[in-house]
């Protein structure tokens, strides 16, 4: 098994991409901590993992935008497994849209707080022990919006651009210490987040749900949504020894829509 006995912490692990990564890692032997703001969701995922893969899994409630909540989360991981995570997946994130001129302070801070501050808090908490052990993997789930821009997503795009800058800089600090830091940049993924995006489009335009979905699919040359399992497969490569030579990268998984 590629991740036998590795301890993994996955934020935003209660559904969608986070859940798919938790399952993929557990199938390869990892012990898994799944964290999110909604305790019920992560408890369900932890139960699925324990029953299906017979590995230890724990559920932790955490608001990654709160530095103290992140510290508590890492304490609970150490309490459950005897040490901090070998692998950190920063998947917690939100996507909201508004014209820049209608982006109020609350919306701006909410997006930066969860998407960017949360990634920073978790990386800062995880790295010292990884450095001490001489091995670690940090995988940040960013977005193709971290490489390009579009109307209505200035705040979201800014937060994801920040995640890529954080990823690239941190990767250079730990490259000689057995640690890799990478980002995955999905396009639209077939998850609840995209479903909410479609509902937002239908509420603001005359498009039906099917028409809104078709418009999103056409953003990919493959004319489809990415699956959460595809993102999980890439995360598994980055977490494994097979991916040890990949460091400081922001890898797109969007069917070829963004080519840089």
Q: How far, in Å, CA of 96 to CA of 197, rounded? A: 8
Question: What would the DSSP string read from start to end of the chain?
Answer: -TTTT-EEEEETTTSHHHHHHHHHHHHTT-EEEEEES-HHHHHHHHHHHHHHH---EEEEE--TTSHHHHHHHHHHHHHHHSS--SEEEE---------GGG--HHHHHHHIIIIIIHHHHHHHHHHHHHHHHT-EEEEEE--GGGT---TT-HHHHHHHHHHHHHHHHHHHHHGGGTEEEEEEEE-SBSSHHHHHHHHHHHHHSS--HHHHHHHHHTTSTT-SPBPHHHHHHHHHHHHSGGGTT--S-EEEESTTS---
Rounding to the nearest 10 degrees, give the CA dihedral for residues 91, 222, 164, 162: -80
Q: How far, in Å, CA of 170 to CA of 150, rounded? A: 27
Would you call 156 a catalytic residue per the annotation? Answer: yes
Q: Identify the active-site residue in 121, 152, 156, 188.
A: 156
Task: Name the residues annotated as catalytic.
Answer: 156
């Amino acid at each position: 098994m590629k991740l036998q006995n590795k301890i993994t912490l996955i934020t935003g692990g209660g559904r969608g991409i986070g859940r798919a990564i938790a399952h993929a890692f557990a199938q390869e032997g990892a012990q898994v901590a799944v964290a999110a703001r909604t305790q019920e969701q992560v408890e369900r995922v932890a139960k699925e993992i324990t029953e299906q893969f017979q590995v230890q899994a724990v559920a932790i409630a955490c608001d990654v935008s709160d530095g103290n909540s992140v510290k508590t989360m890492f304490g609970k991981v150490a309490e459950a497994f005897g040490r901090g995570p070998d692998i950190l997946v920063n998947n917690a994130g939100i996507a909201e849209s508004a014209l820049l001129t209608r982006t109020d302070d609350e919306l701006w801070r909410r997006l930066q707080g969860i998407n960017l501050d949360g990634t920073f808090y978790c990386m800062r908490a995880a790295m010292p022990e990884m450095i001490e052990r001489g091995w670690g993997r940090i995988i940040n789930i960013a977005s193709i919006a971290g490489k390009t821009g579009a109307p209505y997503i200035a705040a979201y795009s800014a937060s994801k651009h920040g995640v890529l800058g954080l990823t690239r800089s941190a990767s250079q600090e730990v490259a000689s210490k057995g640690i890799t830091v990478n980002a995955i940049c999905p396009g639209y993924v077939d998850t609840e987040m995209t479903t909410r995006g479609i509902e937002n489009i239908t509420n603001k335009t005359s498009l039906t749900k099917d028409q809104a979905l078709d418009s999103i699919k056409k953003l990919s040359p493959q004319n489809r949504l990415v699956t959460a399992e595809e993102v999980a497969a890439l995360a598994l490569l980055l977490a494994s020894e097979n991916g040890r030579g990949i460091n400081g990268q922001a890898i797109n998984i969007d069917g070829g829509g963004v080519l840089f």
